[in-house]
Amino acid sequence: MIAGTSAHFACGKTPIFASQYDQRLGYCLYVPENLRTDRAPLLVMQHGTERNASLYRDHMAEFADEHQVVVLAPLFPAGIIDPEDLHNFKFIEYQGIRYDQALLAMVDEVSRRYPVDPDVFYLHGFSGGGQFAHRFLYLHPDRLAGVSIGAPGRITQLDDSLPWWLGTKDLEQRFGRAVDLESLRRVPILMVVGDNDVETWEIDNPGEANWMDGVEKTGSTRIERLRTLERDFLAQGIDVRFELVPGVAHRGSLILPAVRDFFAGLLRSRPEIHRPTPVTHLRHQE
């Protein structure tokens, strides 16, 4: 129950909350003021290296109102343990932190406070968030109603002859879950990148913490690497919708029209679950 002064901040654009799973991590929400369903769809917007979680949340507020969706924007700070680290969440595990489990815990936490569907959700990530999104997909396809993979600089191919994170070798030993191709084939997937996303200074960086020899074989640019991932999925019988956005470089906000269109199509085909009357305005709950 959300009561008192806290109820004022329970709807619309919320503050950033510490995760009860790990208080080094956090999240913010956008909650439409009058949800008309017992199980509102949940849309997760995963930030990239810049950690601009609230900005991604804000960009989806109008969409959330229109489609009666709750938006969850995780915040996975840089500099945990190693003050120079920028990449922790992108590779799922870092210094004992399982970022996939952290996200699932946030989803569960939100579902205890709001009338959202706790079983499956929609996920979009751009750049470093796109890296996280497709790796999360490999581990938890059963939790995703749709995933949008935006312009990842480094990809993980569905190839168990390649070491993690170039491929999926020893995935089950590392994470306790094997790749389930049948489940992957059931998840609607968007791959999206701007057709001017061709700078390589950030992704061609041998010797740095987020480099592995062999990544250069997946392509020189984010476009080429995402095409490699597309071919990899198609070869495994996994359908992909690929969007090359005209006139856009590496700008997460400018690919969002394609992302909104993708999720809107999925939401239109989702059965609605209505209350007899609208959910009480959460700011007025006592």
Cα–Cα distance between 205 and 213 in angstroms, integer? 10
pLDDT at residue number 34? 85
Q: Which residues contact 237 (CB under 8 A, 6 or more apart)?
A: 181, 185
Q: CB-based burial of residue 2 (10 Å sphere; 0-12 exposed, 13-18 middle, 19+ buried)? A: middle
Per-block mean pLDDT, blocks of 10 residues, the chain (286 long): 59 97 98 90 98 98 98 99 97 98 99 96 99 99 99 98 97 97 99 99 95 97 99 99 99 99 97 49 41
pLDDT at residue number 37? 83
What are the helix and strand counts (H, E) for the chain? 9, 11
With H, G, I as helix, E, B as strand and everything else as coil, classify residue 94: strand
- Cβ 174 vs Cβ 227: under 8 Å: no
pLDDT at residue number 272? 64
- What ranges do the domains of the chain cover? 5-284
Terminal Cα distance for the chain, rounded: 8
Q: How many CB atoms lie within 10 A of CB 195?
A: 13
With H, G, I as helix, E, B as strand and everything else as coil, classify residue 281: coil
Cα–Cα distance between 278 and 116 in angstroms, integer? 14
pLDDT at residue number 277? 34
DSSP letter string, 107-148: HHHHHHHS-B-SS-EEEEEETHHHHHHHHHHHH-GGGEEEEE
pLDDT at residue number 7? 60
Q: How many CB atoms lie within 10 A of CB 75?
A: 22
pLDDT at residue number 93? 98
Candidates 48, 47, 41, 46; CA nearest to 63 is: 41
Cα–Cα distance between 18 and 102 in angstroms, integer? 11
CATH topology assigned to domain 5-284: Rossmann fold (3.40.50)
Angle between helices 128-139 and 99-113 (to 10 degrees): 80
pLDDT at residue number 6? 61
Chain position carrying tokens 């956090």: 26
pLDDT at residue number 284? 36
